[in-house]
Amino acid sequence: MSVIDISWWQLSLAAGLVLVLALLAWQARLGISRSLLVASARTVTQLFLIGLVLELLFSVGTLLWVSLMALVMLLLAGREVMARQQRRFSGGWAYCIGTASMFVSSFSVAVITLLVLVGPDPWYRPQYAIPLLGMLLGNTMTGVALSLDRLTETAWQQRAQIENRLMLGQNWKQALGPIQRDAMRAGMMPSINAMAAAGIISLPGMMTGQILAGTAPALAVKYQILIMLIITLGSGFGVILAVVAGSWRLFDQRQRLRMDRLVKRAE
């Protein structure tokens, strides 16, 4: 089955419809027209550039270049995690906690998947490694950002209650326990919702892309099931690591709550 090509005028038509939507949003005074246009421009530019990079990467296909690409993706994802938090840790901790959590979770799950579950030859074959890692990092990034944002914002709002629990003799883990659990649930919920809705409410993106490219639906379904499961694993492990590391950072060695280690994002 041949793949139907999409011409530039068809893409331009789709872009024109986005402009119409931005105009309607402006007339309705929704305050999102500029964000919509900027996001659309970023999507076109970023995807066009990544297409050129992937074509070059696929032609080379060495472990060094695949690793460099993976490192760049990780560093950019860490920046996005930090940027999405309303109240984040001061200094380099805001960047390091999210980046380290994603590195441990996403990279370990990706390597296990490539070596054991999929098994391309070589195992770092970029046609498999880069898309797989990209999906893992993207979803883990969302979970980690949500969980850290919930952790720091709730701890700030409930700082008086936390200090009261500490004065009543609880250690920092007990005093922060309910907030930790709430933050972990918030970070894992998008992956759980995506799995619950897959195949009934929506067709996941990877499966849809494979079917449009001519892959047999049965094979596309198996790949999508694998992807959904490993995304949930990577996101779940990343959320747990991020919340644990962030909770530890909220207290000093004497188990005192340190709200001075948080800074509010500039509006």
Average pLDDT of span 223-231: 86
Average pLDDT of span 98-112: 90
d(CA 25, CA 36): 9
Q: pLDDT exceeding 70 applies to what percent of the chain?
A: 91
What pLDDT is recorded for position 242? 92
In this predicted model, what pLDDT tens digit does every residue of 134-192 receive, in sequence order? Answer: 889 988 999 999 999 999 999 998 889 988 988 888 888 898 889 999 999 999 998 88
Tell me how far the alpha carbon of residue 11 is from its chain's centroid: 27
Res. 203 pLDDT band, cuts 50 70 90: low
DSSP assignment of the chain: -PPPP--HHHHHHHHHHHHHHHHHHHHTT-S-HHHHHHHHHHHHHHHHHHHHHHHHHHHH--HHHHHHHHHHHHHHHHHHHHHT-SEEESTTHHHHHHHHHHIIIIIHHHHHIIIIII--SSTT-HHHHHHHHHHHHHHHHHHHHHHHHHHHHHHHHTHHHHHHHHHTT--HHHHHHHHHHHHHHHHHHHHHHHHHHBTTTB--HHHHHHHHTT--HHHHHHHHHHHHHHHHHHHHHHHHHHHHHHHHHTB-TT--B-GGGEEEPP-
The length of the chain in residues reads: 267
Instruction: Please tell me whether the peptide bond between 122 and the residue prior to it is cis, using omega within 30 degrees of 0.
Output: yes
Does residue 106 carry a pLDDT above 60? yes
Does residue 95 carry a pLDDT above 80? yes
Tell me how far the alpha carbon of residue 60 is from its chain's centroid: 27
d(CA 137, CA 235): 8
Cα-based distances in Å from 221 to 50, 67, 127, 203, 265? 26, 29, 19, 10, 41
Cα-based distances in Å from 223 to 77, 132, 216? 24, 11, 11
What pLDDT is recorded for position 222? 84
d(CA 232, CA 207): 16
pTM of the model: 0.81
- Which pair of tokens denotes residue 210? 């494979």
Tell me what the pLDDT averaged over the chain comes to. Answer: 86
What pLDDT is recorded for position 82? 84
In this predicted model, what pLDDT tens digit does every residue of 16-68 receive, in sequence order? Answer: 999 999 999 999 888 889 989 999 999 889 888 888 888 888 888 788 888 99
Does residue 1 carry a pLDDT above 60? no
Checking 39-48 for CB contacts under 8 A at 24+ apart, the result is 40/15, 44/15
d(CA 233, CA 69): 22
Backbone φ, ψ for residue 193 (5° rounding): -65, -40
In this predicted model, what pLDDT tens digit does every residue of 250-259 receive, in sequence order? Answer: 888 888 888 8
Does residue 108 carry a pLDDT above 80? yes
d(CA 34, CA 98): 28
What pLDDT is recorded for position 212? 67
